């Protein structure tokens, strides 16, 4: 009895599968433009056209010309161009520059480490030389005007 029920279930399943294969599927043409029915091919073509247009627009862009940066506005004494050659301590370089422009130097804080700096002899603004000295000193010292 058990075998017969298995056999009848198997036969019923095969018949159901066979009949399911006979059901008809309505084919949809690739160029269907029915309102409300999305067409993947048309949507893809439209998207590709939009992408192509935007890429062409981006490719035609030219970078804006970089504006030359304006030098920092400083007092006339610091705007003087001097040629100074230095290889030694930071304090000495700052004192020499201060003497050149008529400023006085005040050193504050502990002089725990001597900071060696180098100034190239090419003519530069005093302000730029002081800025370079501060950069070379890094976190070991601060140069203020």
pLDDT exceeds 70 at position 134: yes
CA angle 24, 29, 30 (to 5 degrees): 135
Quick one: pLDDT at residue 74? 79
Quick one: pLDDT at residue 40? 78
User: Is 103 in a helix, a strand, or coil?
Assistant: coil
As a whole-number percent, the residues of the chain with pLDDT over 90 amount to 11
- Per-residue pLDDT tens for 29-72? 656 555 666 677 888 888 999 999 999 999 888 887 776 676 77
Tell me if 71 sits within 8 A of 118, measured CB to CB: no
d(CA 138, CA 145): 16
At 103, list the tokens: 């400023």
d(CA 145, CA 96): 14
Quick one: pLDDT at residue 114? 80
Quick one: pLDDT at residue 52? 94
pLDDT exceeds 60 at position 10: yes
Indicate the pLDDT class of residue 9, thresholds 50, 70 and 90: confident
pLDDT exceeds 80 at position 112: no
Quick one: pLDDT at residue 106? 85
pLDDT exceeds 60 at position 1: no
Quick one: pLDDT at residue 44? 87
Indicate the pLDDT class of residue 21, thresholds 50, 70 and 90: low
């Amino acid at each position: 009895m058990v075998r017969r029920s298995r056999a009848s279930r198997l036969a019923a399943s095969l018949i159901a599968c066979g009949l399911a294969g006979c059901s008809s599927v309505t084919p949809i043409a690739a160029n269907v433009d029915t309102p409300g029915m999305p067409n993947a091919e048309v949507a893809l073509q439209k998207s590709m056209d939009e992408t192509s247009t935007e890429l062409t627009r981006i490719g035609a862009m030219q970078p804006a010309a970089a504006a030359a940066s304006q030098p920092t506005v400083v007092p006339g004494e610091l705007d003087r161009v001097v040629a100074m050659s230095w290889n030694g301590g930071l304090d000495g370089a700052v004192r020499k520059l201060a003497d050149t422009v008529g400023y006085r130097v005040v050193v504050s804080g502990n002089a725990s480490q001597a900071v060696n700096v180098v100034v190239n002899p090419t003519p530069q603004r005093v302000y730029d030389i002081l800025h370079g000295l501060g950069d070379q000193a890094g976190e070991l010292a601060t140069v203020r005007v």
